């Protein structure tokens, strides 16, 4: 009887263990390295495999047993969850550095008794009411901002308020991995235009598209919107930030077009994923030609820039390498979803990547920048190689399975 009971316990042990742990296998088809690859698993799958799992009482481990930082997105914060099934949650998110030639990796998610640690924030977004409705975002590589209604409003009281009407996207160059957005806004406008050890704002936007702004192209002219109207943060680190900006309708060659932009900002990446969805308010069209732009002359004043431009139909990418006199070099880029890519163009202010889009259907692209002073991209070739790798990764996403 004792032997039989022992045999039954041994047989039951793996099944008891399975209730507290799930195995995740991630594969991909590329031979290149994929550093900071973001892996997402629907929380509903985790909850199904680990009934009663709490987001603050799990551990994500790699194949060596090392604990990994993770994040669980909250897509329905108002949802009630009396049975603890995580109905308000979206995805479990963590990252892995795939080495060149490493095409498969295995991870485990398990319940733990203690509360998981708070992981360092590497992706962050915030509305900035204290600076004329700016909206800013960053990760551990680069930072950005764009402009809201207060900046576009006229200076009716004649107090010298800055006025700028633009839907372009700005770049803040970082040379540190920790968050700087709050620190720089607290330092004041004059300070973040100088590198005091953390980085600087050395990028000019004005009425251009900046680094990844959009418009509607008719073959000769770019029709663009105004400053964003509303903002919404969907997820806010530590690994991924997701937010949306909406833009009031504008006249796009006889049609009234409105836009919603969703940004996905991942730790470890110089390029953000942007999904722009256009809505026709007035006028008719089965298809729109969307243009995503880079400012032709983004350098600081007095920097006597030398600018190199590369266009790749193969990668559906547009890159700039801007050498400034005292600010060193800045690479910028747009990578279009190849399914929508429709060529290149330019106007007086912008270099453009074109895409075909249907109203209501998002146009997906990557946009971002890298500064030579941060140490990773010290040549035009290094920047272009990085952008090409980003294009390959966009076109070949990882595959995730649970066991």
Q: Are 363 and 276 in contact (CB under 8 A)?
A: yes
pLDDT at 77: 73
DSSP letter (8 states) at residue 9: H
The stretch 225-229 carries a mean pLDDT of 98
Collapse the DSSP code of 308 into the 3-class scheme (helix H, G, I; strand E, B; otherwise coil) and give the result.
Answer: strand
Question: Is the pLDDT confidence value at 16 over 90?
Answer: no
The residues near 123 (Cβ < 8 Å, ≥ 6 apart) are 137, 138, 139, 140, 236, 237, 238, 239, 240, 241, 265, 266, 267
pLDDT at 19: 56
Mean of all residue pLDDT scores within the chain: 93
What pLDDT digit, counting tens, does each position of 276-312 carry? 999 998 777 789 999 999 999 999 989 999 999 999 9
Q: Tell me which residue of 330, 321, 317, 332 sits closest to 392, measured CA to CA.
A: 317
Q: Are 149 and 229 in contact (CB under 8 A)?
A: yes
Is pTM beyond 0.85 here? yes
Joined together, the tokens standing for residue 11 give 């047989």
What pLDDT digit, counting tens, does each position of 18-57 carry? 458 999 999 999 999 999 999 999 999 999 999 999 999 9
Question: Is the pLDDT confidence value at 1 over 80?
Answer: no
Using CA atoms, how far apart are residues 20 and 23, in angstroms rounded to an integer? 11
The stretch 317-325 carries a mean pLDDT of 97
Joined together, the tokens standing for residue 69 give 């930082």
The domains located in the chain, with CATH, are 2-117 (2.60.40.1180), 123-396 (2.70.98)
CA distances from 391 to 273, 314, 353, 362 (A): 11, 9, 14, 18
DSSP result, 250-289 = EESSSSEEEEEEEEEEETT-SEEEEEEEEEEEES--S-EE
pLDDT at 135: 98
Q: Tell me which residue of 30, 20, 22, 236 sits closest to 126, measured CA to CA.
A: 236
């Amino acid at each position: 009887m004792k032997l039989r009971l022992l045999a039954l316990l041994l047989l039951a042990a793996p099944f008891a263990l399975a209730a507290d742990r799930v195995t995740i296998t991630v594969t991909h088809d590329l031979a290149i390295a994929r550093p900071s690859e973001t892996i997402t698993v629907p929380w509903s799958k985790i909850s199904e495999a680990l009934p009663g799992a709490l987001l603050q009482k799990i551990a994500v481990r790699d194949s060596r047993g090392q604990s990994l930082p993770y994040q669980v997105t909250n897509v329905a914060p108002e949802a009630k969850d009396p049975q603890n099934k995580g109905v308000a949650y979206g995805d479990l998110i963590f990252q892995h550095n795939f080495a060149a030639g490493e095409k498969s990796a295995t991870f485990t998610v398990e319940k733990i008794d203690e509360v998981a640690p708070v992981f360092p924030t590497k992706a962050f977004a915030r509305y900035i009411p204290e600076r004329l409705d700016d909206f800013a975002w960053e990760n551990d590589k680069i930072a950005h901002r764009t402009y809201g209604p207060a900046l576009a409003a006229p200076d009716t009281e004649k107090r010298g308020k800055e006025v700028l009407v633009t839907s372009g996207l700005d770049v803040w160059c970082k040379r540190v991995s920790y968050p700087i957005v709050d620190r720089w806004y607290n330092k004041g406008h004059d300070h973040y235009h100088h590198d005091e050890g953390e980085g600087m704002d050395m990028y000019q936007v004005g009425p251009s598209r900046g680094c990844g702004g959009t418009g509607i192209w008719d073959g000769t002219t770019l029709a663009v919107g105004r400053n964003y109207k509303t903002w919404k943060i969907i997820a806010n680190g530590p690994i991924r930030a997701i937010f949306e900006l909406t833009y009031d309708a504008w006249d796009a060659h006889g049609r009234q077009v409105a836009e919603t932009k969703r940004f996905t900002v991942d730790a470890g990446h110089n390029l953000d994923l942007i999904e722009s969805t256009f809505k026709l308010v007035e006028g008719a069209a089965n298809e729109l030609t969307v243009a995503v732009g880079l400012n032709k002359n983004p350098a600081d004043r007095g920097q006597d820039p030398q600018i190199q431009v590369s266009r790749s139909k193969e990668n559906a990418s547009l890159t700039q390498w801007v050498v400034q006199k005292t600010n060193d070099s800045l690479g910028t880029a747009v990578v279009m979803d190849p399914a929508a890519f429709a060529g290149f163009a330019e106007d007086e202010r912008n270099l453009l990547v074109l895409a075909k889009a249907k109203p209501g259907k998002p146009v997906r692209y990557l946009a971002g920048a890298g500064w030579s002073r941060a140490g990773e991209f010290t040549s035009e070739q290094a920047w272009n190689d990085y952008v090409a790798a980003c294009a390959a990764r966009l076109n070949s996403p990882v595959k995730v399975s649970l066991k």
